[in-house]
Amino acid sequence: MTASDYLCLAPLIIIACTPIVIMLTISVVRNYQVVFGFSLIALAAAFASVFYIMPLTPHPLGVLFLFDGYGAFFLGLIITASLLITLLSHSYNYLQSDKEEYFIILFIATLGASILVVANHFISFFIGIETLSVSLFILIAYRRSRDYSIEASVKYLVLASVSSAFLLFGMALIYAACGTMSFNGIGLILATAKTFPLIVTVGFGMMIVGVGFKLALVPFHMWTPDVYHGAPAPVTAFIASVSKAAVMAVLLRFFFAIKGFQNIPIFTVISVIAILTMFVGNFLAVREKNIKRILAYSSIANLGYLLITLLTGSNEGVNSAIFYIISYVVTTLGAFGIISLLSQSSHDTDQLESYRGLFWRQPWLAAVFTLTLLSLAGIPLTSGFMAKFYIVFAGLKSDLIAIVISLIINSVIGLYYYLRIINTLFATGDNEKLPEVSFSGHLVLGMIALVILWLGLFPGSLVDAIAQYSILR
């Protein structure tokens, strides 16, 4: 290990050491404000350390990790999202007993996501995804007084265990054929073959099952609405943003390393999954009346849009994926952030009718919520519009006409249920009393609204920056 190795590991070391310090602290005395403040400082330090990695990139750390611009970029995104979720969790967990332990598990989940985005080997891939998954079991059931939270956690536990078995078996088949578990090593071996060996195709198919569960792709999406509904609102925000971004980041790295888009069976399977994921996610959202479940189905459809970038096989595809992930993470944090800030200590405020007339009571929150929904729908002047535009552009350039048409059709379908929520926000009628939002909550929502508008109005600066992080350069 050299000084450069330790410097590259600094974000992971900070994130890994923080829960240990918190455990030692609460073993002496419990002070929620101290633990909360220390968590914010630790995440800010981890984010700052990412900038020290940039001059060293690309920097392989053994065979397990690759600290390049792509990985550093996603590290920054994940740490920033975790910081915002920590701020949103402050008032939400304040009345909860044993509330300090929440931050311990949140940091461990962030560590698993951080390992994923710099993974360059099946071992680090599996360690990262399991660290993330096991932490999510606990976070989903953290409000253990709620029966539906326990039910959601058990569902996630069982299905995640099955999907991990598929993922591990798929890795084993690819290792048996290639004799290496390094992404680059597998790519080099497959590059010398005219076609993928059958065992590699089968292995990758089994990996699609495992990763498809983590990303909630059809037909592996059944758990999503129940888990989103049962989990505490800040945890749902973490699952929908950090978890999805980390898994998508490692999938992009692996898929482009082995050039999976050149294999006809794999290309066909992912194309079918992408189209089904778009349509199923949007059509199921139309019939829902629970906002968390609507956003759950919306997230399914959004991952279907993202799959298009895997099939492009181009720099434009990777760059559009990165931009879309940024927009999706920010917008999703905004939507679930409002749900978190308006939720009660006994239950989440997630019924559509609970938000009736929100504009007439708290216009600022209604305005931000409307902005996030318009961005998810892909309306111009928002980041969501530009994100879909870049995916459509990359898809058309790669002649993915049928899938791009599916994206456009599904964007129209999605507009229906987004506008239904917006209509409720501006309607009049009886509604339940909602809590006041803290200053930190308003601060987070303000930052999210600014980013959504900035990326929608002036995307060029970020697009130019993203071009430097393409994994195909």
In order along its 473 residues, the chain shows pLDDT tens digits of 788 888 889 999 999 999 999 999 988 888 888 899 999 999 999 999 998 888 887 888 888 998 888 888 899 999 999 999 999 888 776 555 567 888 999 999 999 999 999 999 999 999 999 999 999 999 998 877 777 788 888 999 998 889 999 999 999 999 998 888 999 899 888 888 777 788 888 999 899 999 999 999 988 888 889 999 888 889 999 999 999 999 999 999 999 888 888 888 888 999 999 999 999 999 999 988 889 999 999 999 999 999 999 998 888 888 899 999 999 999 999 999 999 888 876 677 878 888 888 888 888 999 999 999 999 999 999 999 999 999 999 999 988 899 999 999 999 999 999 999 999 988 876 666 777 777 888 889 999 999 999 999 999 888 888 887 666 54
- Within a domain: residue 110? yes
Cα radius of gyration (the chain): 21
Burial letters 209-239, b for 16+ CB under 10 A, else e: bbbbbbbbbbebbebbbbbbbbbbbbbbbbb
**Residue 156 in domain:** yes
Tell whether 117 and 143 lie within a shared domain: yes
Q: Which helix (H) or strand (E) holds 65?
A: strand 65-67
Domain shared by 339 and 213, yes or no: no
Q: Cis omega before residue 459 (within 30°)?
A: no
**Quick one: pLDDT at residue 422?**
93
Res 96: pLDDT: 59
Q: Give the residue from 226, 249, 272 where a domain finishes.
A: 249
- Residue 279: the pLDDT is 95
Residue whose token pair is 């997630």: 350
Clarify whether residues 235 and 288 are in a common domain: no
pLDDT attached to residue 315: 83
Query: Is 22 a member of any domain?
Result: yes
Q: 192: burial class by Cβ within 10 Å (0-12, 13-18, 19+)? A: exposed
Query: What's the total number of domains in the chain?
Result: 2
CA distance linking residue 339 with residue 146, whole number of Å: 17
211 and 329 in a single domain? The answer is no
Residue 467 lies inside a defined structural domain of this protein: yes
* pLDDT value of position 408: 93
Q: Are residues 232 and 280 in the same domain?
A: no
**Confidence (pLDDT) at 98:** 62
What confidence score (pLDDT) does residue 434 get?
73
Which of 249, 269, 285 finishes a domain? 249
257-275: b or e for each residue (b if 16 or more CB lie within 10 Å)?
bbebbebeebbeebbebbb
Domain limits for position 275: 259-473
Domain end point (choices 215, 249, 283)? 249
pLDDT value at position 170? 93
Do residues 294 and 371 share a domain?
yes
Q: What is the pTM of this model?
A: 0.94
My answer on whether 207 and 177 are in the same domain is yes
In a domain, 433, yes or no: yes
Q: Does 455 share its domain with 357?
A: yes
Alpha-carbon span 119 to 127, nearest angstrom: 9
The pLDDT, as a whole number, for residue 430 is 61
Q: Cα–Cα distance between 339 and 301 in angstroms, integer? A: 20
Same domain, 228 and 322: no
* Residue 254 lies inside a defined structural domain of this protein: no
Whether residues 181 and 315 share a domain: the answer is no
137 and 16, same structural domain? yes
- Whether 184 maps to a domain, the answer reads yes
Q: What is the pLDDT of residue 260?
A: 82
Which residue(s) pair with 121 in the sheet?
182
Q: Is residue 280 part of a domain?
A: yes
Residues 139 and 280 in one domain: no
